[in-house]
């Protein structure tokens, strides 16, 4: 069910013996896949989202599940704290965020309010509700900044180039501090460039989603920079699996990278997608934008050694699955792709680095 207040969601099916999992940013791209996966594995889940960029349609499957409740709330609010104290989750998966590099450059205060103050509010709520662990979605594409040696390991110096990267570093720092100060276990998962079904083509994040829709409807595509900028593209089900592997109680380091270790250039990505879509589109090249990195790939060997996690979906297969979803969603009037087709908010494409 969907509730629009901080009231305790009725119909919670989990018992006091098995407190629910709380997912913030539940209506977003990654959060909604995580909700589906948790429900599928038998957990009770409460999802929170203020729907600033998320969509209830992402939770269509989850909302039919008896062990799921959704509450529309801002994670920076006192109502959020009230909710968490009532539901007493065992584990908090914190994905709610302002996640646009460009917006963070334009409005760093808003970025910090959501990503830093929001994370502190989530930690306070989790602590006082007796949660055993908090998992934070951090950003391997921005917290490290530019480094000559790739793939980047967790002990690499943090040199963010954008307010978004800085706010994720600060959020990670608070997670670690709450562990030291209060004993609240916290892990930051530094994600590569996540892609797959449900990624919003109108947001800034998903170059794959943006290219796929543009190519599918025959729009021109634009690359910012010369096309050599490269990113570590990781499929959403692999990212969800990484979160799941971090649920058990065992010693983890403060940050774990979640990526494939492979950097793919934007131009290469564009051509792979064009091939998948059966298109011969030639992208427009525009100047690179502030806050964007040149090359990123992430070394996830610590996560692999600790949990056995490995990326299972090769890039070409992930691109095909994403294009299939884009094509299917073109049939739905309420879908992002349909809005794109109708010219609502269509915008040029860029690499992004989150």
Ligand X SMILES: NC(=O)c1ccc[n+]([C@@H]2O[C@H](COP(=O)([O-])OP(=O)(O)OC[C@H]3O[C@@H](n4cnc5c(N)ncnc54)[C@H](O)[C@@H]3O)[C@@H](O)[C@H]2O)c1
Catalytic positions, written as ranges: 164
- C-beta closer to ligand X: residue 280 or 352: 352
**Of the residues 3, 14, 53, 262, which one makes contact with ligand X according to CB under 6 A:** 53
Among 6, 19, 50, 303, binds ligand X (CB under 6 A): 50
Q: How long is the chain? A: 354
Interacting residue with ligand X among 20, 89, 118, 201 (CB under 6 A): 118
Residue 44 is encoded by which pair of tokens?
A: 């009770």
Decide: is 349 part of the binding site for ligand X (CB under 6 A): no
- Cβ of residue 4: shortest distance to ligand X, in angstroms? 13
Please give the Cα distance from 8 to 72 (Å, whole number): 12
Draw the binding track, 154-193, toward ligand X (x: CB under 6 A; -: no contact).
-------------------------------------x-x
Whether the bond between 151 and the residue before it is cis, its omega within 30 degrees of 0, is yes
A 10 A CB-CB count for 260 gives 23
Helix H or strand E encompassing 101: helix 101-106
Longest dimension (CA), the chain: 57
Please tell me whether residue 30 binds ligand X under the rule CB under 6 A: yes
Question: Using CB under 6 A, which of 25, 44, 259, 351 touches ligand X?
Answer: 25
Residue from 256, 257, 264, 255 nearest 295 by CA: 264
Binders in 67-86 for ligand X, by CB under 6 A = 74-76
The residue among 257 and 276 lying less far from ligand X, judged by its C-beta, is: 257
From residue 260 to residue 299, the character string flagging contacts with ligand X as x (rule: CB under 6 A) and all else as - is ----------------------------------------
SS3 81: helix
Cβ within 8 Å of residue 201, ≥6 positions away: 209, 210, 212, 213, 214, 336, 337, 340
- List 242's β-bridge partners, or say none: none
Q: Does 336 bind ligand X (CB under 6 A)?
A: no
Residue 298: strand pairing partners: 152
Residues that bind ligand X (CB under 6 A): 24-25, 27-31, 48-54, 74-76, 95-99, 114, 118, 137, 139, 141, 191, 193-194, 200, 203, 205, 354
């Amino acid at each position: 069910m969907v509730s629009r207040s901080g009231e305790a969601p009725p119909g919670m099916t989990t018992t006091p013996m098995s407190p629910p999992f709380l997912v913030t940013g539940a209506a977003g791209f990654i959060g909604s896949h995580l909700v589906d996966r948790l429900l599928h594995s038998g957990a009770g889940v409460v999802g929170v989202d203020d729907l600033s960029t998320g969509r209830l349609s992402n939770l269509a499957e989850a909302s039919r599940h008896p062990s799921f409740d959704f509450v529309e709330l801002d994670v920076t609010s006192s109502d959020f704290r009230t909710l968490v104290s009532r539901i007493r989750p065992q584990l908090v998966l914190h994905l709610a965020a302002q996640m646009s590099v460009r917006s963070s450059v334009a409005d760093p205060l808003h970025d910090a309010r959501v990503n830093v103050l929001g994370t502190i509010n989530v930690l306070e709520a989790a602590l006082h509700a007796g949660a055993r662990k908090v998992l934070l979605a951090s950003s391997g594409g921005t917290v490290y900044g530019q480094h000559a040696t790739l793939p980047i390991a967790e002990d690499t110096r943090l040199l963010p180039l954008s307010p978004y990267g800085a706010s994720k570093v600060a959020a990670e720092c608070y997670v670690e501090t709450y562990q030291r100060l209060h004993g609240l276990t916290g892990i930051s998962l530094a994600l590569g460039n996540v892609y797959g079904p449900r990624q919003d083509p109108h947001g800034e994040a998903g170059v794959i989603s943006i290219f796929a829709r543009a190519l599918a409807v025959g729009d021109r595509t634009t690359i910012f920079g010369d096309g050599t900028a490269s990113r570590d593209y990781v499929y959403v089900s692999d990212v969800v699996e990484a979160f799941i592997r971090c649920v058990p109680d065992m010693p983890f380091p403060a940050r774990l990278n979640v990526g494939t270790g492979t950097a793919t250039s934007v131009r290469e990505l564009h051509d792979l997608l064009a091939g998948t879509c059966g298109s011969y589109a030639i992208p427009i090249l525009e100047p690179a934008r502030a806050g964007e990195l040149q090359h990123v790939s992430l070394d996830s060997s610590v996560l692999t050694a600790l949990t056995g996690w490995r990326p299972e979906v090769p890039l070409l297969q992930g691109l095909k699955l994403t294009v299939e979803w884009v094509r299917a969603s073109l049939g739905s009037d309420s879908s992002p792709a349909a809005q794109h087709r109708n010219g609502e908010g269509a915008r040029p494409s860029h690499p992004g680095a989150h």
